[in-house]
Amino acid sequence: MKRIYLDYSATTPVKKEILEEMLPYFTEKFGNPSSIHKFGRDAKAKVNEAREKVAKLIGANVNEIYFTAGGTESDNWALKATAYDMRNRNKKNHIITSKIEHHAILHTCEVLEKDGFEVTYLDVDKYGSINLEDLKNSIKENTFMISIMFVNNEIGTIQPVKEIGKIAKENGILFHTDAVQAVGNVHIDVNDLNIDMLSMSSHKIYGPKGVGALFVRKGTRITPFIHGGAQEKQRRAGTENVPSIIGFGKAAEIALENLDMHIDKLTYLREKLKDGIMNNVSHVIYNGHPEKRHPGNVNLCFQFIEGEAMLLSLDIVGVAASSGSACTSGSLDPSHVLMALGLGHEYTNGSLRLTVGDFTTEEDIDYVLEKMPVIIDRLRQMSPLYEQIEGGNN
């Protein structure tokens, strides 16, 4: 069976040319970059090449990029290291973030709260955007950081990052952004946007899993989160994941080269997918911002049916998707992001995320559009909720 992958926001395949760049560094050129001998020097040189490529993708300087094991570690590092350092040195202990951050931010903030930090979780409007006045009003004497994600992973909404950066700068507050979903999908210039720290992850941009980076603006203090050897200018210990870093670098290079084409293609496919569903299925809502969104993200709530049942049904016909329903994750609560939009359970339980990517074709979309109404209808026919409104409303 042909398998159609519409879950590019969960992870992406590694592109062939990226894997090829990595391969020699597993077997022949396997040195430890800290070693003085040729194996080590070769590895070190390639790691720094990769660093340059990653820096370029976000308009940063090569010295401002620190490699990590992924987006989650970058988020943990940026928040925790800064928090304790700020409290120790400046007696500041307040962070502003939003209700729709990734758990890498939210759970880190919860842990910090338990340890005496204060956290403000900003509300979002129905499109998932924070309100800039709210942000300004929440700034206090002891605020040391604003951490607002660039692009939301579920609903795709792009936050007003430039305005946030401006507010942060005017108030002398650090601005961190979780840009895991943004990098490679929107144009980013950390200088233009006044970003002080930015988290990224390779496996969302066709690079390998298990590697990411934290951008830290020159002059911004960052203490280590993982202690040990002197790697990454003594900021992040642990033998460098050389092949993966090289892959991440190549992925960044390709992402930059293709950015406009990538955005255009994804936007076209996304609109086709979204319109095709919205025009052929009733009782659906389209979540996130209509324009200011991830080019590949379609997030829908189907009434009367449950997300996991949709996922399974799609999987059976070869389509891979994602859902924010509670049942999908085995959690008690459905997606905190959908809840923050003000949606009731009758919507949030029926959520579906379809994300298109570089290998998605128009035929893939046609196929999904053909299957989707059938799947939705079958599940609705089984639903006691649909039964009630079927006569009058359909």
- Please report, as ranges, the residues that interact with its own copies according to CB under 8 A: 3, 5, 7, 10-14, 16, 19, 23, 26-28, 30-32, 34-40, 69-73, 75-76, 102-105, 107-108, 110-111, 201, 203, 208-211, 226-230, 237-244, 308, 311-312, 314-315, 319-323, 328-329
The label of the residue with tokens 């430039």 reads 162
* 241 is a site residue for ligand PLP (CB under 6 A): no
| 120 near other proteins (CB under 8 A) | no
- What DSSP character marks residue 236? S
Q: Could you count the other beta carbons within 10 Å of the beta carbon of residue 147?
A: 25
Among residues 239, 331, 361, 388, the one that binds ligand PLP under rule CB under 6 A: 239
Given a contact cutoff of 8 angstroms between Cβ atoms, the answer to whether 321 and 308 are in contact is: no
Give the CA count within 13 Å in the CB-facing half-sphere of 36.
0
Retrieve residue 149's tokens: 């994600």
* Among 223, 331, 361, 393, interactor with other proteins by CB under 8 A: 331
332 binds other proteins (CB under 8 A): yes
Residue 111: contacted member of its own copies, other proteins, ligand PLP, none (CB under 5 to 8 Å, by partner type): its own copies
Please pick, from the candidates 54, 55, 180, 256, the single residue that binds ligand PLP as defined by CB under 6 A. Answer: 180
**3-state secondary structure (DSSP) of residue 332:** coil
Q: Determine if 349 is a binding residue for other proteins (CB under 8 A).
A: yes
Provide the minimum distance between the beta carbon of 307 and other proteins in the complex, in angstroms, as a whole number: 8
Quote the CA–CA distance of 168 and 201 in Å, as a whole number: 24
Bridge partners, residue 95, by sequence: 119, 145
Q: Please state the closest distance from residue 150 (CB atom) to its own copies, in A.
A: 17
**What pairs with residue 200 in β-bridges?**
213
For residue 301, indicate whether it is catalytic: no
CA–CA distances in Å: residue 18 to residues 86, 158, 249, 255: 39, 28, 9, 11
Query: Rule CB under 6 A: which of 35-74 touch ligand PLP?
Result: 70-72
* Residue 136 makes contact with other proteins by CB under 8 A: no
Q: Is 88 in the site for ligand PLP (CB under 6 A)?
A: no
Q: Which does 149 bind (CB under 5 to 8 A by kind): ligand PLP, its own copies, other proteins, none?
A: ligand PLP
Cβ closer to ligand PLP: 149 or 375?
149
DSSP state of 361: -
Query: Would you say how long the chain is, in residues?
Result: 394
Burial 338-366 (b: 16+ CB within 10 A, else e): bbbbebeeebbbbbbbbbbbbebeeebbe
Q: How far is the CB of 153 from other proteins (least distance, A)?
A: 7
Q: Catalytic residue numbers?
A: 327
